[in-house]
Structure 1
Amino acid sequence: MRRIDYDTEQYQDYARGRALNERQLQTWISAFEGVLPERRPLTGLDVGSGTGRYTPALARTFGPVTGVEPSVRMREIAQERSAHPDVRYLAGSAEDLPVPSGSADYALLFLSWHHVQDKPRAVRELARVLKPGGRLLLRANFSDHHPRPWWLAHFPRGYEADAALFQPLHEVIAMFTSQGWRVSGFRTVVEPSPGTRADMLERLRLRTLSFFAQLTPDELEIGFRRLEEAVAADPGAPAPVFAEPLLTLERRE
């Protein structure tokens, strides 16, 4: 996987390219509610928070949240976009979380696990900052549980290149359980459509997905040409939905 420097790439378009409508956001918040304790408030961590897609909604629903993000530019945008009093953004990463031990009830990693360079260290660090019984919500893709979004088929090596970014599910589970975690649950979530196929094409053109950094210029040119031709046949059709994995892990007492 080619590493992406979000301070020089993608940060300007990320919020627009990865924006969620209210139905999409509420679908995920409801999924998180289903695996977190009912008591309120809960203290949370949004690890790899980016431009703050989820952080304010987590604060509104559960309680105070710290967004942890290594990119200066992404944190700046998140801070500009959020005025929620229970949200703060700090520099850090999954391997080096800038919060006290045992201070969080849950942590969310939403499509950021594949960016973590030292995963064994991150497993230990996440265990350090969560309270006993704390939950880790890992919305990650897995090479053997891949959502296969509709547009990938139009790019050369599309499914292959995207799946290569991710570990298999059993490998992720083994990494955590070997360090004392237990699996609390695994399910898929069907996120509502982001709009029409034409809407989705406009977002994809911003290239704010890690997948696009793995292709050659020729593959990108071919893929977008094919995708544009396919969308032109019915641009107003709703963008198809697909099932997305959510793994929940629990820090043992």
Structure 2
Amino acid sequence: MTLTGPFKVLEVGAGTGIFTRALLADEGWNASIRRLTAVEPSKGMRDLLCQKVRDPRVDVADGIFQSTQIAEKWADVILIAQAYHWCTDFNAATVEFARVLKPGGIVALTWNSEDRLGADWVSQIWKVLGNHEEGTPVREQTVAPDF
């Protein structure tokens, strides 16, 4: 099954809307969004998101990973940017995602990552830091797929 837009997007752990604004600023994503519901448990962050994002297709709601308060089979896409580490029950979140996601829908988790290879000076810093990171889990630099 191929997913075609425009999409109903559920952004969980939306915070102050940094990723929401990035989606709306991207021409391709902007044109592909029918509706976007940004779910965030912090009232202060929701308030700031509402101030910064002024798009009639965007709703902001109180909720958490395990309980989004979204209607069953509503979302075509679930996006989580820089927030999944705040989830306290991954099993319950998975059940919730299955409940709100339409058949054939997608869950996408994103994280910022350092470019450890792009500039020589950055590479040198990471070599120095690497001497002190023995035994700590460090994400390896990956290259994004070219779609």
Q: Tell me, yes or no, whether TM beats 0.5.
A: yes
1:103 aligns with 2:71: no
**Residue 213 of structure 1: aligned partner:** none
Distance (whole Å) between structure 2 residues aligned to residue 159 and residue 94 of structure 1: 33
State the match for 1:227 in structure 2: none
1:64 counterpart SS class: strand
Using the TM superposition, name which of 49-58 and 115-124 deviates more: 49-58
For residues 47 and 106 of structure 1, what CA distance do their matches in structure 2 show? 11
Unaligned runs of 5+ in 1: 1-35, 167-186, 191-253
- Structure 1 residue corresponding to 2:144, chosen from 189, 204, 226: 189
Instruction: Tell me the TM-score normalized by structure 1.
Output: 0.43
**For the structure 1 residues 188 and 111, does the alpha-carbon distance in structure 2 shift closer, same or farther, using more than 3 Å as the test?**
farther
Deviation at 1:135, TM superposition (A): 0.6
The Cα shift of 1:159 comes to: 8.0
Task: Describe how 1:45-194 pairs up with structure 2 within 5 A.
Answer: 45-56=10-21, 57-58=23-24, 60-61=30-31, 62-140=33-111, 149=116, 150=122, 154=129, 163=138, 188-189=143-144
Shift of residue 108, structure 1, vs aligned partner? 0.4
Deviation at 1:76, TM superposition (A): 1.1
Give me the TM-score of the superposition, normalised by structure 2. 0.71
Deviation at 1:40, TM superposition (A): 2.7
What residue ranges of structure 2 are gaps of 5+ in the alignment? Answer: 117-121
When you count helix as a share of all residues, which structure comes out higher? 1
Letter aligned with residue 44 of structure 1: V
**Percent same amino acid among aligned pairs?**
28
Distance in 1 of aligned mates of 2:104 and 2:97: 12
Q: Write out the 4+ residue segments of structure 1 that deviate beyond 4 Å after TM superposition.
A: 146-162
Q: Aligned partners of 2:107 and 2:131: how far apart in 1?
A: 35
Q: AA paired with 2:7?
A: L
Q: Distance in 2 between matches of 1:68 and 1:157?
A: 38
Q: Residues 132 and 154 (structure 1 numbering): CA distance in 2 closer, same or farther, change over 3 Å? A: same
Say whether the 8 Å CA contact 1:148–1:159 is kept in structure 2.
Answer: no
Shift of 1:75: 1.0
In the aligned structure 2, how far is the partner of 1:128 from the partner of 1:88? 19
Between the aligned partners of 1:75 and 1:158, the Cα distance in structure 2 is 36
Shift of 1:50: 1.0
Q: In the superposition, relative to structure 1, how do residues 161 and 65 fare at CA in structure 2: closer, same or farther (>3 Å)?
A: farther
